[in-house]
Chains A and B, each alone.
Chain A
Amino acid sequence: GNSVTQMEGPVTLSEEAFLTINCTYTATGYPSLFWYVQYPGEGLQLLLKATKADDKGSNKGFEATYRKETTSFHLEKGSVQVSDSAVYFCALSKGIRAAGNKLTFGGGTRVLVKP
Chain B
Amino acid sequence: EAQVTQNPRYLITVTGKKLTVTCSQNMNHEYMSWYRQDPGLGLRQIYYSMNVEVTDKGDVPEGYKVSRKEKRNFPLILESPSPNQTSLYFCASSPMDRGDYGYTFGSGTRLTVV
Contacts and interface: CB of A to CB of B under 8 A. Distances in A.
Q: How large is the interface on A (under 10, 10 to 19, 20 to 34, 35 or more residues)?
A: 20 to 34
B100 interface: yes
B43 A49 contact: no
A91 to B, nearest CB: 8
* Residue among A34, A96, A101 having the largest count of chain B Cβ atoms under 10 Å: A101
Interface residues of B, number: 26
B108 A101 contact: no
24 contacts: A32-B99, A32-B100, A32-B102, A36-B105, A42-B108, A43-B106, A43-B107, A44-B90, A44-B105, A45-B105, A46-B104, A49-B100, A91-B102, A93-B100, A95-B99, A95-B100, A96-B97, A101-B99, A102-B58, A103-B33, A103-B92, A105-B43, A107-B40, A108-B42
Interface of A: 32, 34, 36, 42-46, 49, 51, 89, 91, 93-96, 100-103, 105-108
